[in-house]
Chains A and B, each alone.
Chain A
Amino acid sequence: GENVEQHPSTLSVQEGDSAVIKCTYSDSASNYFPWYKQELGKRPQLIIDIRSNVGEKKDQRIAVTLNKTAKHFSLHITETQPEDSAVYFCAASHNDMRFGAGTRLTVKP
């Protein structure tokens, strides 16, 4: 089955800096790559996703890039704010969705 690896496990940045989280996947048939944000004690919520026929997607301060050849994709958050502090999960899906282990992002004011 699909195996998704995510790095780093923790990330601390100053407010206003950029944050980058990287993931790799193993199943070349995976064609959907979402990113979820989970705040403490809350449910995971989708923040952005990308499909295999697209290389990059942006939504305001958030962007995701996908390299199908290398089987890796990344989340980029620019101009980080304290409310961006949370755990972020990448996922890859073909028939079922598999998640990475998560990255705890801390944005220091």
Chain B
Amino acid sequence: DAGVTQSPTHLIKTRGQQVTLRCSPISGHKSVSWYQQVLGQGPQFIFQYYEKEERGRGNFPDRFSARQFPNYSSELNVNALLLGDSALYLCASSVTPSNTGELFFGEGSRLTVL
């Protein structure tokens, strides 16, 4: 069974541009969470979606947005990119909406903003 898949794996953008990252959860998982991991730090919570509805939002500016599709895949969108947005963006899926069970992470999308 396929794990969580993310695309693209690597991308380079310039300041002010916009980026869309994509995630496909494990089959049967209806919850998708997005995390930002800056080098040397722990994953920082951005969003959680369950059954296409936003269930949680971390302390990130409105430049960050996300959505979940009927097939439970998800997109993370970041507008007006800043240098500080350079990070590994991790998507994680889970069975429960309450995040009190294992999160299964994808390999991540490494974003570099120049």
Contacts and interface: CB of A to CB of B under 8 A. Distances in A.
Contacts of A45: 105
A43 B107 contact: yes
Contacts, number: 58
Contacts of A94: 100
Interface string A53-74: 0000000000000000000000
B16 interface: no
B55 A95 contact: yes
Nearest to B41: A101
B99 A95 contact: yes
A38 to B, nearest CB: 9
B56 A95 contact: yes
B43 A32 contact: no
A94 B48 CA distance: 13
B90 interface: yes
A92 to B, nearest CB: 10
Looking at chain B's contact residues, the main secondary structure is loop
B68 interface: no
A34 B105 CA distance: 14
A43 B9 CA distance: 12
B106 interface: yes
Interface string A18-57: 0000000000000110100000001111100101000000
Contacts of A102: 40-42
Q: Which 4 pairs, one residue from A and one from B, show the smallest C-beta to C-beta distance?
A: A99-B42, A96-B56, A32-B100, A43-B105
Interface of B: 33, 35, 40-45, 48, 55-56, 58-59, 90, 98-103, 105-108
18 contacts: A1-B58, A34-B103, A42-B107, A43-B106, A43-B108, A44-B43, A44-B105, A45-B105, A49-B102, A51-B100, A95-B98, A96-B33, A96-B48, A96-B58, A97-B45, A98-B45, A99-B45, A102-B42
